[in-house]
Structure 1
C-alpha cells in the first residue's frame, strides 16, 4: 500500500482511541485522513476486542459513497461487507459491516431511533471545517452522550483547514478523558496560485473562459472548475462551446466537459469522478471541494463563489445567496490540483480581494432554518435549544422562529412538548413542512402518491422544465408512467426510485392502505389542502386592484401570481408554497388557489379594528375576520368608545391643541400672563394641557365632539377654583374707559396685553391703565374716527404730551366736525366724538 503522510501519526491515533480519548485531527488535503483513519480505528478496536461499528460522518452523499467504495476496494472487498455506506435514499450495509460512511442527516436519524448509539463504538466527524448545521448538532449530541452516558464511545473530529484548539477546548469542558490535538504536516505537491483581475460587471462565464483556457494549455491533466450553482455550470458550458478561444487553446485534444453537482443521480456523480484516460473538464459546485479526489486533476479554476442557504427569520424563508467563499475554502479548492502531481490554481479574483475575504466560513447554525433540528431534538425530549452545550450557539431569533413554525404545524404544543403529529413528523426523513404535508395527504391519498408529492416538493425532479404542469398532473405522470415530451424515460425512472425510497421511509401510522396504489390522480383540492397544512404561513390575499400582487401572512408582499396561476384565475386566496425570499417583494414560483373555509379555525380571529380617519377627523371602526394578520373580511362597525377609541382620538388631536375654542384659548393666555408675574399661580404647561385633553377624550370619537366639549369645566377641575379667582381678579377680561364704556382686553402669547379704543374715548385718561396690581401696563391701540390705528403706545402720558399735538392737526383737517381739544386729559370723552352744540 502506498505510504501517505497520515501514516506517521496513526500509531498515536490508535493509542488515543484505545485509551478512549477524543481526537481532534488536522491534516491537509491529500494526506489520506479520510481513507486511512477509519481503518486505523478499526485496527485499534479489534486489538482490544471492542465490538461495534465505526461511523464516519460526511457532509455530502457523493463523498460518503466514493470513500466507502475506495476503502472497500483497497481491502479487496465489495461495498456492504466490512465497509458500507448510508446516505439519503441509498444504503449498502450488512451484519458484517464495521465501518459505515454516512451523511450527517443519516447519522442524526440513527441517533433519533438509537439515542445511545449502541451500535457505534466510534464516531468520526470528517470535514468538520464545513460547519454545516447538522455537523454542529452531531458534535453537540455526541459530546453530550460521551460526557453523560457513554464514556466508552470514541470520537474523532477531522478537517483539513480547521483550527484544532477551539474544538479540543469545547470537548474538554465536560469530558473526563482529555481530547487530544493531532496534526499531520501532509505531503501535497506544489500548487502555483494565479490571481486574476476584479471585473465584477463582466458576466461570470465570460470571466472564466480565459483561465480555463490557460489551465488547459499549461497542464496535461484534468481541469476542475468550481462554480456556485447548476445554472452557472450550464452557462459556462454553453459559453465554452461557442468560444473560439476554448477550441484554439486545446488543439491536440478537446476535453470531455462533464458536470458534477448534487442534483445528479449517484450513477452520474460516480461517472464524473471516475478515473479516465480521456482528459476531462469538470464543471462542479462545491460538492467537489472536500473528500472527493478526482485522480489526475492538475489544474483548478475557481470562481470564488458558492451558493449558501440563508434563513431570514423575519420572513420565515430560506433563500440561496451567492457569496464569496472564505480563504480556507479557497485553499481547500486549490489543494485539489496538488493531490497527485504538481498543479496550478487559477483564481478569477485579485490578490487584494483575497486579503479582504473572511478567514473561515460562517457556521451554518448562524444562518439556517432550525425547525428540522428543533423537531429532532424535541423527539429526544429537548424543549430548549439554549440548554444544549453548542460549539456555536444558534441565534435566539432563529430558534424562536423555528419554534413558532413547529407550533403552527402542530408538531409542538404551546409549552414546547412534542405532539402526536410531531412524533409522526419526526419519524420521517423529511423537512418538517413536507412531513406535515405527508400526514395531511395520507387522509385522502395512497402511500405512493404521498411519496410522489413529498419527492416533488423536496427533490429536484424531471418536470422542472415543464412550467405549465400542475402538481396533480405531475403525480398523474408518475403514477401512470406517462412521460411528457421534454422528460426522458431514464430521468423519470431515476426519480421513481427516489419516490420508492421515500415511500419506504413513511411510517405505517400515516399509510392509507385502503386507497388504490397506481390508478389514483389526486384532485387539486386534495393537494391544496395538503400543502396548506405544510405552509399555513404562506397564505396570500390578492390585491383587488392588482391581482398579480398580494400580501402574505406576516406582511410580506408577493408578485407574479398571474404568471403562475393564469390570467383567468381570480381566486382571492392563494397558497404560495414556493417563493423567492429576496427583493422588496417575493417572486412567486409555485402557487395554488385555496378556499377560506379550508383554513385552520384555530387561526381565525374576529376583531374590531379602530383607525383614524384623517378626512373626517374621527375614529372609525371596521369589524374584521383575520387569518394570522391577513384581513379576510371587513365590514363597518360601531365605534365602541373604549380605551382604544380614546387613545386614538388623543394621539391624533394632541398636535392641534388648543382646540377648546377662542374663549378657552383666551383664558389660557390670561392664566399664562398671571403665572409669569405671580408665584401663586402655576403655569398651565403642555403636560397639563395633554392631561386635560385626555380627560375630555373619554366617551368621544371625533374632533368635532372635542370642540363642543366643556373645556372650561374640566380646566377648573385641574387648576382649582381659588387659582382661577386670582386670574379673574388680576387679569380681567375687560376694562372700563373714562366715559364708562367697557372694552375687552386682548391676551396673546408673546405680546403684552392690549386694548383697541378710539382716541376720543380715552379723553380724561392721564396715564396708561394697568392690570395685575399695576405691575403690567396695557398696550393701547389708539384709533381714529374711521377705526384705523393712529398710534400704538404703552405710555399714554407721553402720547398726550408729545405725539397728540401733531396727530390732532391732521385729524382736525380730516374730521372738522369732531372735537379735538387741546388739553385731552381734562376733556370729557364722547362716544360719537362730535363737538358739542
Structure 2
C-alpha cells in the first residue's frame, strides 16, 4: 500500500532544492521515518554535488535508529552498512558507501565536534522532534545557525508527529539571513485503523503490576494479536513480568495460536540483541511486550492489536540546588497517550486499555515538557565547550535552558576539571568529551585507566552508566560486582545489557586510548584505586557521617543522606564516605551506592581553613568558629573568640536587617526604654518621613536654609530606609550583639546623617510634644500607617478652639479626648465640631458619674484645668 507521506514528497523535495528548511507534521502511520529519507535520496534534491553527500537522519532513541536503518536496508535488498547505516552510542554500522545514516542525537553532536561544518552532509533530518529531548533542541539550534552562517546549502527537515510546525518554522526564519528563503510547513495525513479506547481506573493503592496484568487480561480476551503494555520503568516491567508468569494466561489467548504466549521486555537498558528479539515476529506465537515509552514512536511492532497504557513514565528532573538528577514517575501528556494508543491501529482495528479515568485525561498536559527545561545539562555544556561555545547565552534556542541549570552544569564541569573558570574546555575536558559517556563516567574512566585493567574499567563504567543489577546487594565493592556480573549464568536482561555495554566501552577505550595497557593486573590496593577514581568523578558527593548516627550524614551542598551502614565494608564507621549513587527525592536522600574514603584523597585546592562568623538567634549575638571545609562540607570545627572586625560587622548588620524586616518597631535592635520613647529609632524615622512628605513645593534645598524639599538625588539621601541602613552599618562596627546595639547612641548617629539644620526642621514640624491649654505637655505619637495623635483629658483642652496642626500646618493632630477614667470618650480630628455637637451629650453622662470634675456648659470660655477637677472659684 502506498504511504500517506508520498503525496507531500514532491513539494518537500522542491522546497529543499530551493534552499528552504522544511517542518513536516505527520502522524503515526504516515511513513515519514521510512519514507522521507529514501525519497529525497532518489529524488536528487540533495544529491547534486559530485561527492554525493550523506543524509543524516537524527533519532532521539538508539532502538529506533538501529531498527529503522535495518528495515530500510532490508527493503532495498542490502546489508546494513551499505546504502543505509546507523551510528548509536558504542555501536556503529557504516561504510564509505553509506548514503543515509540514522544516528542518535548524541552521536550527531559528537560528530559535529570533529566536523563542525558537516562538510560531508547534504541534509539533516531531525525526526520525532515532538519528544523535545535535550539533544534534539541543541541539534536544532546548532544546525539552524550553521545554515544561516556558513552552510546555506545544507538542507534541513524537522519532522514531528504531534507538534504544530509553525512555531518551529518561525524559529528557523528568525535564525536565517534576510536573503534566505523562509521555512516551509508541510502536513501529511496518517494511516491508521480505528482504535477503541476503554478506561479501567483502579484504586491508587493497587500495585501497578497488578493493574497492568488486569489490563492485559482484557486485551487478550478482546483481541487476537500482540499486546503492547506501557509501564514507567524497568523495575515496574520486571515486577509485571513476574506477575504474568505466575498466572495462567492461556485461557485468555485467542484460538489459532498453538505456540502459546511469549512475554518480552523492551527498554533502553537492554542489549541490541534482546531489543531485536522483542520486535521480531514468530509465526503462530502471540506476544506480550512490556515496554517503557521507548516504543511510543518510530518503532513498529508488527501484529500489535492492543495497547495497555499505565499512563505513566519516568522523567529525569535535575534538582540544581542539590546537584542531583532524580527520576520521577509522572503522568504522560495527552500527546503521548495518543501516540501509545495509535500503536494498536497500525495494521488493523485495535484496542487501547487505559488504566485511568476518562475524566482525568483532560487534566493531563497537552505535550511533554522539553528536557532542556528540566534535565542535567552538564553533558551538553561540555560538548558545546568542545565546539568553542563558552557563552551559551549567544545561542538562539527554541526553548531557552534555565539559568540555574546552566550554572549547576558549569559548576560540576569545573569541579571535574573539564572547563576552566571562563568556561573554556581543558585538555582533560577534551579527553572526557571524546568518550560517548556522561562527563562523570568519562572522568572516572580516565582516572581509572593506568591503575586497573581496561576490561575491568569498562565493566565498572557500564555498571555506573546503566541500571545496577546488584544495587540491592549490601557491601559489594566494584571488584566484587565486576566478578559477579562476569560469572552470572542467569542470562537476565540487565546482566546481558551490562556485559554488552562493557564490551562496547572497552572497544571505544581502545580506539580513543591506543596506548593504554590492556593487560594491566589488579593492584594490591584495588579497592582504593576504584574509590579514588570514583572520587574524581563525584567530588560533590562526599559525605561526612554523623557522630551520633553513623547511618546518616551530610553531603557537599548540605543535603542529608541515609543508608550509609550498608556500604561500610570495614564496619569501622569511617567518617568520610563517597555516595556516588544517591536518590535526589525526599527530605533526605537514600544512598544506593557508596565507598569509604580517606580525607587525604580530597583535592587539596578544594579544602579551605577559615574563621567563620554567624549569628545565634537564641543568644542574639555573634558566634565564631575555626573550620576546615571541603567545598562547603565542614570537616571539623572549633569555637573561637569573637573579634570585632569587618566580617563580624557585616554578619551583625545582616542579622539586624533581617530583624528589621520582621519587626518594623526595631524593638530588639534599637533603644527600647519606655522613658526614651521619643528616642526610638522607628519614631525618629517616622517623623523624618512625615516631614519629607509634607514639605511644601516652594521649599528649595540649600546648605544655608537646610530646607527639606530637594532635588531627586537629595531626596534619596533623606529616604528613611537608606538612613537606617547607613546608621545601622556604622553602629555594627565594633559590636557583636543586639544587646550592644540597643545601648548604642542611635539618636546621635541618626541626627548626624540627617544633618543638624534639617533635624531642627524635624523637631519643629514633627514635635515630640504639644503644650495643652492647661499647661501640661502631651506626647505626640507617630506610628506608621496612622495619623499623628495625642491623648489629653477633656478638661485640659478647654479653650482650645480648633484642632492643633503640625507638619507645616498641613496635618491635623488626631485628638484622643479622655474621661476621668483615662479612657477615650471621643477620637476626633475636628475639635471645633466636637465642642459644638458631641461635648454636650458626653457632658450629661460624665457629669453624673464624676460630679467633682469640671463640666462647664461653654468649654471654649472655660479655663482648662490640670487635673480635671473643678476650680475652687467654681460652685
8 Å Cα contact 2:670-2:742 kept in structure 1: no
> What's the CA shift string for 1:378-437, capped at 9, x where partnerless?
111111222112121111221222122212211111111111221221111111111122
Larger mean CA deviation between 603-612 and 247-256 belongs to 247-256
Q: Please list every run of 5 or more consecutive structure 1 residues that lacks an aligned counterpart in the other structure.
A: 680-684, 732-744, 754-779, 781-790, 803-837
Distance 2:232 2:274 in 1: 19
Q: CA deviation at 1:546?
A: 1.8
Partner of 2:533: 530
Distance 2:436 2:573 in 1: 37
Partner of 2:100: 99
Distance 1:540 1:161 in 2: 45
| SS of aligned partner of 2:417 | coil
| SS of aligned partner of 1:506 | helix
> What's the CA shift string for 1:772-818, capped at 9, x where partnerless?
xxxxxxxx9xxxxxxxxxx999858969979xxxxxxxxxxxxxxxx
Q: Is the alpha carbon distance of 1:639 and 1:492 closer, same or farther for their aligned partners in structure 2, counting shifts above 3 Å?
A: same
What is the aligned counterpart of 1:450 among 457, 462, 465? 457
Distance 1:531 1:324 in 2: 35
8 Å Cα contact 1:93-1:100 kept in structure 2: yes
Question: In the alignment, does 2:268 pair up with 1:262?
Answer: yes
Question: In the alignment, does 2:540 pair up with 1:505?
Answer: no
Q: Is the alpha carbon distance of 1:18 and 1:546 closer, same or farther for their aligned partners in structure 2, counting shifts above 3 Å?
A: same
Q: Is the alpha carbon distance of 1:548 and 1:181 closer, same or farther for their aligned partners in structure 2, counting shifts above 3 Å?
A: same
What is the aligned counterpart of 2:225 among 215, 221, 226? 221
Q: Is the alpha carbon distance of 1:562 and 1:799 closer, same or farther for their aligned partners in structure 2, counting shifts above 3 Å?
A: farther
Q: Is the alpha carbon distance of 1:489 and 1:717 closer, same or farther for their aligned partners in structure 2, counting shifts above 3 Å?
A: closer
Q: Is the alpha carbon distance of 1:475 and 1:598 closer, same or farther for their aligned partners in structure 2, counting shifts above 3 Å?
A: same
Q: CA deviation at 1:96?
A: 1.6
> What's the CA shift string for 1:738-794, capped at 9, x where partnerless?
xxxxxxx999999999xxxxxxxxxxxxxxxxxxxxxxxxxx9xxxxxxxxxx9998
Partner of 2:299: 292
8 Å Cα contact 1:664-1:711 kept in structure 2: no
| SS of aligned partner of 1:71 | helix
Q: Which has the larger radius of gyration?
A: 1
What is the aligned counterpart of 1:342 among 344, 349, 360? 349
8 Å Cα contact 2:463-2:498 kept in structure 1: no
Distance 1:268 1:715 in 2: 79
Partner of 1:145: 146
Q: Is the alpha carbon distance of 1:217 and 1:711 closer, same or farther for their aligned partners in structure 2, counting shifts above 3 Å?
A: closer
Q: CA deviation at 1:319?
A: 1.0
Q: CA deviation at 1:510?
A: 5.9
| SS of aligned partner of 2:63 | helix
Q: CA deviation at 1:511?
A: 6.6
Partner of 2:187: 183
What is the aligned counterpart of 2:206 among 202, 205, 226? 202
Partner of 1:40: 39
| SS of aligned partner of 2:644 | coil
8 Å Cα contact 2:47-2:122 kept in structure 1: no
What is the aligned counterpart of 1:701 among 736, 739, 746? 736
Q: CA deviation at 1:257?
A: 1.6
What is the aligned counterpart of 1:594 among 597, 610, 619? 597
Q: CA deviation at 1:107?
A: 1.3
8 Å Cα contact 2:672-2:680 kept in structure 1: no
Distance 2:725 2:33 in 1: 74
| SS of aligned partner of 2:175 | coil
8 Å Cα contact 1:554-1:629 kept in structure 2: yes
Partner of 1:231: 235
What is the aligned counterpart of 1:622 among 621, 625, 635? 625
Partner of 1:416: 423
Distance 1:138 1:356 in 2: 31
Matches within 5 A, 1:650-799: 651=655, 655-656=667-668, 698-702=733-737
What is the aligned counterpart of 1:372 among 372, 376, 379? 379
Q: CA deviation at 1:168?
A: 2.0
Partner of 1:774: none
Partner of 1:829: none
Q: CA deviation at 1:513?
A: 3.3
Question: In the alignment, does 2:621 pair up with 1:642?
Answer: no
Q: Is the alpha carbon distance of 1:515 and 1:224 closer, same or farther for their aligned partners in structure 2, counting shifts above 3 Å?
A: closer
Distance 2:552 2:407 in 1: 29
Distance 1:141 1:713 in 2: 63
> What's the CA shift string for 1:321-355, capped at 9, x where partnerless?
11111121111111111111111112122221112
Q: Is the alpha carbon distance of 1:639 and 1:25 closer, same or farther for their aligned partners in structure 2, counting shifts above 3 Å?
A: same
8 Å Cα contact 2:559-2:588 kept in structure 1: yes
What is the aligned counterpart of 1:250 among 250, 253, 269? 253
Partner of 1:783: none
| SS of aligned partner of 1:655 | coil
8 Å Cα contact 1:441-1:450 kept in structure 2: yes
Distance 1:47 1:112 in 2: 24
Distance 1:90 1:695 in 2: 67
Question: In the alignment, does 2:441 pair up with 1:439?
Answer: no
8 Å Cα contact 1:318-1:581 kept in structure 2: yes
Distance 1:574 1:614 in 2: 32
Distance 2:756 2:27 in 1: 86
What is the aligned counterpart of 2:436 among 415, 422, 429? 429
Q: CA deviation at 1:236?
A: 2.0
8 Å Cα contact 1:25-1:181 kept in structure 2: yes
Q: Is the alpha carbon distance of 1:344 and 1:710 closer, same or farther for their aligned partners in structure 2, counting shifts above 3 Å?
A: closer
Distance 2:392 2:304 in 1: 43
Question: In the alignment, does 2:555 pair up with 1:542?
Answer: no
Q: CA deviation at 1:38?
A: 1.3
What is the aligned counterpart of 2:560 among 557, 562, 587? 557
Q: CA deviation at 1:578?
A: 0.8
Distance 1:693 1:181 in 2: 63
Distance 2:497 2:48 in 1: 44
Distance 2:307 2:573 in 1: 52
Q: CA deviation at 1:580?
A: 0.6
Partner of 2:635: 632
Matches within 5 A, 1:63-102: 63-102=64-103
Q: Is the alpha carbon distance of 1:607 and 1:96 closer, same or farther for their aligned partners in structure 2, counting shifts above 3 Å?
A: same
| SS of aligned partner of 1:162 | coil
> What's the CA shift string for 1:669-718, capped at 9, x where partnerless?
9x99xx99xx9xxxxx9999998887665434356767888899989989
8 Å Cα contact 1:326-1:360 kept in structure 2: yes
Partner of 2:121: 120
> What's the CA shift string for 1:254-297, capped at 9, x where partnerless?
52221111121111111111122211111111111111111111
Partner of 2:816: none
| SS of aligned partner of 1:445 | coil
Larger mean CA deviation between 634-643 and 269-278 belongs to 634-643
> What's the CA shift string for 1:595-647, capped at 9, x where partnerless?
22222222222221223456666433111122222111212223221134345
> What's the CA shift string for 1:212-264, capped at 9, x where partnerless?
222111111111111111111122223334446x5543375552221111121
Q: CA deviation at 1:500?
A: 3.2
> What's the CA shift string for 1:25-79, capped at 9, x where partnerless?
2222222222121111111238746502211111111111111111111111111
Q: Is the alpha carbon distance of 1:611 and 1:184 closer, same or farther for their aligned partners in structure 2, counting shifts above 3 Å?
A: closer
Distance 1:20 1:796 in 2: 99
Distance 1:436 1:85 in 2: 27
Between the two proteins, the alignment pairs up a number of residues equal to 743
